[in-house]
Amino acid sequence: MLTALLVTGAAALLASGGLWVFWLEPRSLSVTRLRISSPAWPKSAPPLRIALLADLHAAGPYETPARLAQVVARANAEAPDLVLLLGDYIDLRLVKTSLVLPEAIAPVLAGLQAPLGVHAVLGNHDWEAGGARMTAALAAAGIGVLENAARRLRHGGHDFWLAGIGDAWSGADEVAATLDQITDRAPVVAMTHSPDVFPEVPARVALTVAGHTHGGQVRLPLIGALVVPSRYRRRYAYGHIVEGGRQLFVSRGIGHSLLPMRFLCPPEIALITLCHAQPEAAAAKKALSLAGSSA
């Protein structure tokens, strides 16, 4: 009798765990709101609200056009100043029930709304599936793709540059050549797919944003992310990272890689508010954070 109860309990636990990992968490969606203070963002400039959508990996059964439409509506509800799309819109290697093609993805993303526009870079899976096709589909939907290119934008009476750096995982990154296109001292926001470019990004860039890692997709208590597709392993797995005063944010993204599963790493839309910080204030904040983490 006791053995039967133990077996039944174990089976129920495994079933509920599988339901969470393969159904409930992958289908969830959260909004991560974070304020990032950077000395490279001018004091006179108003804060900039940036919505980040990364790693859609559009395919059935979860990341369908209907699901993407829900993501778009949720992002629009946050009323961002700027929307940045961080690559991997498509994935041919997923275990999937259907494939959503670029021509079906782009019109849904065209529903995104922001005064400063919607801008994109490509990810490694986009290149594997045909980067030119994805670029053309996004362009036809009114979404510009910045592949190793910089664009000047204006916010609250102040100019800043948006620099799109190619995907390091695909060997398409040209950090120096991209930043060489910037012709003045206006602040810079850099967007890319893989965070592996970050060590090359200079301090004059106020914020770098990336995706690709999915935050690990599966994170175990006390252990963290099991697999991080980065040459730096967990160094840039997820979240707000500060190195030498330089700011990076890596999103968990929306979809999933290979298997339709997530654990303790739910899909997210990231909403970043970028604002000014005095260098000494930023240093004090970092020191306080380090002291708290060592306590």
pLDDT digits (tens, 9 = 90+) for 89-136: 999 989 899 999 999 999 999 999 999 999 999 999 999 998 999 999
Cα–Cα distance between 215 and 156 in angstroms, integer?
33
* Residue among 164, 192, 200 nearest 251 (CA): 192
Residue 181: what pLDDT?
98
Query: Does residue 1 surpass a pLDDT of 70?
Result: no
- Say which amino acid occupies 167: D
Per-residue pLDDT tens over the stretch 206-225:
999 999 999 999 999 988 89
- Work out the percent of the chain whose per-residue pLDDT is above 70: 88
Per DSSP, 229 falls in state -
**195 CB-near residues (< 8 Å, 6+ apart):** 208, 210, 212, 213, 230, 232, 236, 248, 250
pLDDT confidence of residue 13: 34
Domain formed by 2-294, architecture: 4-Layer Sandwich (3.60)
